[in-house]
Chain A
Amino acid sequence: MNEIIESVKNLSIGFNSQKGKQISILRNVSTNIKKGETVGIVGESGSGKSTLALAMMGYIKQGLFPLKGECLFKSDDLLKMSSRQLEKIRGRKIAMIPQNAGQALTPNLKIGYQIDEALRLHTDLNKTERDKKISELLNKVRLPSPETMAFRYPHELSGGQQQRVAVAMALAGKPDLLLLDEPTTGLDVTTQAHVLELLRFIAKDTGTSMIYVSHDLGAIAQVSDRIVVMYAGEIVLEGPARKILKEPIHPYTYGLLKSIPKLSLAGLPASMPGSQPQPGSINEGCSFYDRCNLATDNCKKNSPDLEHIKKLDTNVRCFNYKELINQNNNLQTSITKKSNNSEANEVLKLKDVSISYAKQKFFDQLLNKISDQNPTVKDINIDIKKGETIALVGESGSGKSTILKSIAGLLKTKDGQIKFENDRILSSDLKMRNPNDLRAIQLIFQNPDESLNPNHTVEQILSQPLKLYFNLSGEELKKNIIDLLKKVRLGEFYMSRYPRQLSGGEKQRVAVARAFAAKPDIILCDEVTSALDVSVQAAVLNLLQQLKEDLGTTYVFVSHDLAVVRAISDRVAVLYQGRLCEIGPSQNVYKFPSHPYTEVLLGAVLEPDPDIKPKLVAEDIVEEKPPEKGCSFQGRCPRKIGDICNSKVPPWQIGENGNAIRCHINIEELASLQQ
């Protein structure tokens, strides 16, 4: 058990800047991987975690090169090996499971061939033995019908299935060490929980060591024995998983854990100020100095070494870690938010809304109608009150973004009405809406990299809505822009910056400011925090809440992350395959009884706590289309009661908590089942 498989010693990796300076993105990293152990490497984007993981396979990305140190795999330095020698190790001794299997599988080769290739390279099996082995492996990763799976192409599989194929491919060479680079990022919550469960099983079953790289402390908590926390290219904390997650003694880890929204807590997570320093910008002192609330003058001048604390079996890079010992219970806190006024008027009503993506047939086009009996989104009835935050949750394909686009007028509805203020019907055609309605409903997109014009300065970006809706110019325009920037906590000097000169969080703030420039009544938020790091996510959530409390804006908040939704929303609507399953005040939806689908979703959420294991109650099958009749969740429901689920659309039942559930099972019975 204590045999060391791979050890990294004083590794620094960097690149040459345009000014010819050497800039390191990995600084003096040392760590050991023991046999049979799973090590989680966690850090936010830009912390160097992927660079470290790839270096552990002897792979350095183009443009980077090792500055010093070594990566020893069983006493051989991988960084000094020829490509011939590396071919013998990669896939056979150390195998990789990539982040996005959909892009990491070669598109023109069948699944079976790609696994067979690994077998041919790394085993001595003959053709028939290999064929047997392929279906064994596909079976092991729990893919349906392994016999036919081998003859399919990567694109014919769902995201979760592709990830399983990547796992099977990595296992083909019977490696001693598995390297997992964000293997579940980008998968749906239920799929993610299933893949993690599989990985845990494989680690136990084969005794393989694993290195699990992720930004997601929830996933890391589920698989790791030991955790390495990286910040700005350095290891800042390293130790047993439980210790790190429950008693983090480095201020960065402490702040990170606090900024993760948790299912069990209402209210917003605390945010950490600032953002990670750019590579090469730290000259002296601790790299976390700017954002640390324990920092002293000593931290500014001297950089702390990684110190081993025997009692806790932990390495920590901090002068003041002692102040954090025994403060653990503080992790379970959150900022309470002002609840909205429940007496308020309804500002937006969705009545029987259906939306179809079906292509119009020739005759339908002539008659200008859509004749789709089974539309993507069907029978949506939601009334949204002024000043409320309503969240739409569901996995990919649940129609949540589709509904958002329809409200914004970007997508025509098939049936039903969208009513705005005093029951005035909004046209489903954007061109028919009057300018004031367009101003009143604003949209913030998921990815600010794509929603901000890269050739415009922040000033130009923000001046557009101000000019368009309010005809502002000159000094007045400038004053308004500065006000907006102040509202999203950005200084005046940001006006002349281009989006590429901003960090991810700053970009999203500009996008928020642009939405607020129109003085809207309703803001539609489409996964606005999912492209952001957790510490930045907490800051953006807090900002949105603050703005809402100050200005009385209404949010329609779309997200796949149930913990984030819990943190920000007043009311939650759960969607499956474009049909509403449950709707109610958020504190009640997160309590039982709930719709079986809500139960499945809640069970699959990964909490950054090794003691809370996800409950996997339903299979992670991907359904391409909603069922033609009956309950939308019939295909996956763990509580299905029989034919009635397939034939009749379930009725709405209102629970005593005030949440409405659409299920054939009596609501009290559901409550006792879920106890």
Chain B
Amino acid sequence: MLLLILKRIGLGLITLFIVSLITFVGVEVLPGDACTTYLEREAYGAALDACIKRLGLDVPAYERYLDWAANVVRGDFGYSLSGEMPINEVLGPRVKNSLVLASVSILIGIPLAIVLGIITALWRDKLPDIMISTITIFSMTIPEFISATLLILIVAIWLGWLPGIVIIPSDATFYELLSNIILPVVAISMIMTAHMARMVRSSVIQVMASDYVQMAILKGVPYWKMVFRHVLPNALLPAINVVALTIAWLLGGVVVTEVVFNYPGLGRLVIESISNRDLPVVQALAIILASIYVGINLIADLMTLMLNPRLKSLQIRK
């Protein structure tokens, strides 16, 4: 088991290494370099030389990569060009904001999705299922920029209950954030919850039709006990990986929602740094997003292994 975890972590690190190489090479082969983009029209003569010298662009590419990689390992992503400040300072608040948005959405969305999925499955083809399923399919099909805009129109403009866009500094405190993120959370949860509820529903229905559930009924196990003991643990196992992907997607920045609500999270930073051609920040973001995906998928796989006795003993036997 320990060996397996180490193996998976090793594989994750290799993935990150490859991602870093690809982004570095990608940035290298783009026409121009950090200095020409930064200096724009002044990119000639002494200013350019000074810039190249300052950013260390005069050394060979592989040396720069090694240098950069060594710093990243130490947790230092270097300097942002546009802000001329350490990338860590640029990233820090953004990561925090994205974390807040993601965790609030997760705390609300995932339990809601599981409950809705279970209700629709247990009352399959009855009124609760028909109602909830209609709503979930509806909110699944509407693109988020439309649902977000509609939310702003109805809740913020017509009713005036909540601010329509988030106007806060990027280093706002948690409590300042909380009152501002209600609408974005609703917009995100609508899609996320709908997808996951559908998944949970089909998974529960499948397990309910299994031989062991029939056996539990014929054993005299009361209905709700059967649901909690025999159905849910088996039905929710396959959901873990979907939940993981959703969390990674949320942390990686829900670009559209962040843009519509003007929310200062990671997703918007990606857009901004690309349009500013702030290459060091793009590189840093690529590494961070990749680590989030790798890390969360690793956790999900390990959880599935822990919770599924079948896989667990299979691995031990090997």
Contacts and interface: CB of A to CB of B under 8 A. Distances in A.
Contact of A59 (B218, B229, B237, B309): B218
Given A107-B309, A108-B234, A96 B219 contact: yes
B217 A90 contact: yes
B212 A104 contact: yes
Nearest to A118: B219
Nearest to B309: A153
B210 interface: yes
Contacts of B127: none
Contacts of B212: 103-107
B228 to A, nearest CB: 12
A116 to B, nearest CB: 11
Contacts of A566: none
Given A108-B308, A153-B313, A155-B309, A91 B219 contact: yes
A276 B58 CA distance: 87
Interface in B171-230: 210-212, 214-223, 229-230
A179 to B, nearest CB: 8
A21 to B, nearest CB: 22
Contact of A91 (B210, B218, B230): B218
B233 interface: yes
Contact of B221 (A89, A108, A117): A117
What range describes how many residues of A lie at the interface? 20 to 34
Contact of A90 (B220, B223, B308, B309): B220
Nearest to B307: A108
Contact of B215 (A83, A98, A173): A98
B220 A104 contact: no
Find the residue from B215, B223, B310 having the highest chain A CB count within 10 A: B215
A95 B217 CA distance: 11
Given A96-B215, A105-B212, A89 B313 contact: no
Contacts of A90: 217-220
Given A109-B229, A155-B310, A169 B219 contact: yes
Contacts, number: 78
A374 to B, nearest CB: 17
A92 interface: yes
A619 B44 CA distance: 89
A83 B223 contact: yes
Contacts of B221: 87, 91, 117, 121
A122 interface: yes
Nearest to A173: B220
B230 A106 contact: yes
A74 to B, nearest CB: 16
B232 to A, nearest CB: 10
Contacts of A109: 229-230
Given A106-B230, A106-B234, A109-B230, A96 B218 contact: yes
Nearest to B219: A91
Nearest to B232: A108
Contacts of A45: none
Main secondary structure of the interface of B (DSSP, over half): helix
Find the residue from A86, A106, A109 having the highest chain B CB count within 10 A: A106
A345 B216 CA distance: 59
Nearest to A153: B309
Contact of A108 (B216, B220, B233, B313): B233
Contacts of B310: 107, 153, 155
Contacts of A92: 220
Contacts of B216: 106
B220 A88 contact: yes
Contact of B313 (A106, A121, A155): A155
Contacts of A156: 313
A87 B224 CA distance: 12
Interface in B259-318: 307-310, 313
Interface in A71-97: 83, 86-92, 95-96
B219 A103 contact: no
A104 B211 contact: yes
Given A91-B220, A92-B220, A121-B221, A103 B211 contact: yes
A103 to B, nearest CB: 4
Contacts of A30: none
A121 B313 CA distance: 30
Find the residue from A83, A108, A117 having the highest chain B CB count within 10 A: A108
A57 interface: yes
Find the residue from A83, A90, A104, A173 having the highest chain B CB count within 10 A: A104
A109 to B, nearest CB: 7
A274 B223 CA distance: 44
B217 A59 contact: yes
Contacts of A173: 220
A102 to B, nearest CB: 9
B111 to A, nearest CB: 21
Contacts of B217: 59, 90
A98 B213 CA distance: 12
Find the residue from B211, B214, B219, B310 having the highest chain A CB count within 10 A: B219
17 contacts: A57-B218, A59-B214, A86-B220, A89-B220, A91-B218, A98-B211, A98-B215, A100-B211, A103-B212, A106-B216, A106-B230, A107-B234, A108-B233, A118-B220, A121-B220, A153-B313, A155-B309
Interface of B: 210-212, 214-223, 229-230, 233-234, 237, 307-310, 313
Given A95-B219, A107-B310, A109-B229, 12 more contacts: A89-B220, A91-B218, A95-B218, A98-B218, A100-B211, A104-B212, A104-B214, A106-B215, A106-B216, A121-B220, A121-B221, A155-B310
7 smallest A-B Cβ distances: which pairs?
A91-B220, A90-B220, A103-B211, A104-B215, A96-B218, A153-B309, A91-B219
